[in-house]
Chains A and B, each alone.
Chain A
Amino acid sequence: MDKNRINPIFVRTITLKNMGVVNFEDLFEAKLAKNDMIEPKDWMPENYRKHLIRQISQHAHSEIVGMLPEGNWITRAPSLRSKLVLLAKVQDEGGHGLYLYTAAESLGTSRDEMLDALLTGKAKYSSIFNYPTLTWADVGAVGWLVDGAAIMNQVMLQRTSYGPYARAMVRICKEESFHQRQGYELMTHLAFGTPAQKEMAQDALNRWWYPTLMMFGPPDIESPNSENAIKWRIKRETNDQLRQRFVNQSMPQIEYLGLTVPDKNLKWNEAKKGYDFSEPDWTEFKAVIKGNGPCNKERLASRNKSHAEGAWVREAATVYAKKQNENYEAA
């Protein structure tokens, strides 16, 4: 008999049996063990799917809300160059949000559901974006520290187990590098500028240091989602590991600027080849996550305002697409 004509289901069973696999859950585990990526149409445990939808949509929301603190400074950027740079950066953040939303959509949620969750305040996003950007130095601190911390997390996520998420991260990491460098460049201008400028840089570092450390999430012993995330290879390093690496990486950069961190306990620990440092105020972190940070209400109000103001565009585009009478959607 022609081998090509064997009943496909029969062959599949043989193939899986040859792999020593008896059911889809084992196949899923086998893929994770081999460091294979899980793709949208692959079988996956329901909790893995839910975990990813939550994490990726929160990540997307963070990119979108993250446009607001910096967007605040576009009209007041001190030079044409810095204005162009800031515009490009904020545009990138919008792009990152879009990559991530479609990655989440590949898991079966919809853009509308996610936007609704964001606009009604049901969804979470990174607590960092609920802090205000009070001075021009904050734009530098956000690019350098906040994007720097995000990169630390996102470099790890380039090897996350879900294919579309990993691919979005590869693209995002390439782009974030410019973000961090432009932020640090801005900080060098201030730190080596007039005393008033240097003071402004120090003030920004003082205010952003602890909120940035919070970005990695609660300590490992209190992190409710970490265990599964590590087990499923969604995350490959823990919150505390990433936070430690961030501090280690940032200190030489801070010293170069001649600035100091607002932490008297921070010192090099030769035994662990890393810095000892104070934990951020986790009570504050929880309060900000719950909606009581300095800017939570303002951020949500801004998102809702711009969404409402875009309603006529969505309506017009829908009608226009219909009028063209070309059905590209094919049900």
Chain B
Amino acid sequence: MSNDSQGPMWEVFVQKKAGQPFVHCGNLHAYDKEMALQNARDLYTRRGEGMSLWVVPSAAIVASSPEDMGSFFEPSNDKIYRHPTFYQIPDGVGHM
């Protein structure tokens, strides 16, 4: 990808409103970080989709692998005591 004449690939994250998480919305090519930010604005926020942007070089993303999905996330599968509904609270106590 880095040899592409269109520049390297970047991942784009948009924050819709202040206080909300940044959400991945797509990717693009750009030669440097300023251009990546400008291209992200032109490509992904033409209709007020966001008020803040992150651009990250795609090569910097580390991802889990789908083949290992079962084993990688398995540790949390049988731990129902991590959820609030696992616990009995007497009715008289009210909302907790």
Partner of B2, one of A88, A317, A324, A331: A331
Contacts A11-B71, A112-B6, A329-B57 hold; do A99 and B32 have CB atoms under 8 A apart? no
Contacts A43-B67, A324-B32 hold; do A110 and B7 have CB atoms under 8 A apart? no
Give the nearest-CB partner of A92 in chain B. Answer: B46
CB B13 to nearest CB in A, in angstroms, measures 14
Give the nearest-CB partner of B47 in chain A. Answer: A175
A42–B64 Cα gap in the complex (Å)? 11
**Chain B neighbourhood of A98, CB < 8 A:** 28, 43
A88–B59 Cα gap in the complex (Å)? 32
Contact size range, A:
35 or more
Contact size range, B:
35 or more
**Chain B neighbourhood of A4, CB < 8 A:** 74-75
**Chain A neighbourhood of B2, CB < 8 A:** 329, 331
Contact assessment for A314 and B46 in the assembled complex, using a CB-CB cutoff below 8 Å? no
CB A242 to nearest CB in B, in angstroms, measures 26
**Chain B neighbourhood of A39, CB < 8 A:** 66
Contacts A92-B46, A317-B32, A324-B32 hold; do A12 and B57 have CB atoms under 8 A apart? no
CB A90 to nearest CB in B, in angstroms, measures 12
CB A102 to nearest CB in B, in angstroms, measures 5
A43–B60 Cα gap in the complex (Å)? 23
Contact assessment for A318 and B70 in the assembled complex, using a CB-CB cutoff below 8 Å? no
Partner of A328, one of B8, B75, B78: B8
**Chain A neighbourhood of B18, CB < 8 A:** none
| Chain B contact residues: helix, strand, loop or mixed | mixed
A3–B70 Cα gap in the complex (Å)? 13
Contact assessment for A102 and B70 in the assembled complex, using a CB-CB cutoff below 8 Å? no
A95–B59 Cα gap in the complex (Å)? 22
Partner of B67, one of A12, A95, A167, A321: A12
CB B43 to nearest CB in A, in angstroms, measures 5
| Cβ of A91 under 8 Å from chain B | yes
Partner of A105, one of B9, B57, B75, B78: B9
CB A331 to nearest CB in B, in angstroms, measures 7
**Chain A neighbourhood of B31, CB < 8 A:** 314, 317-318, 320-321
| Cβ of A267 under 8 Å from chain B | no
A91–B27 Cα gap in the complex (Å)? 17
Give the nearest-CB partner of B59 in chain A. Answer: A330
Interface residues of B in 18-35 (CB under 8 A from A): 25-29, 31-33, 35
Q: What residues make up the interface of B, taking CB atoms closer than 8 Å to A?
A: 1-2, 4-9, 25-29, 31-33, 35, 42-43, 46-47, 57, 59-60, 63, 65-72, 74-75, 78
A-B contact pairs, 25 of them (CB 8 A): A8-B68, A11-B74, A12-B67, A12-B70, A12-B71, A15-B70, A43-B66, A88-B46, A92-B46, A105-B1, A111-B5, A111-B29, A112-B4, A112-B5, A115-B6, A317-B31, A317-B32, A320-B32, A324-B32, A328-B57, A328-B59, A329-B2, A329-B59, A330-B57, A330-B60
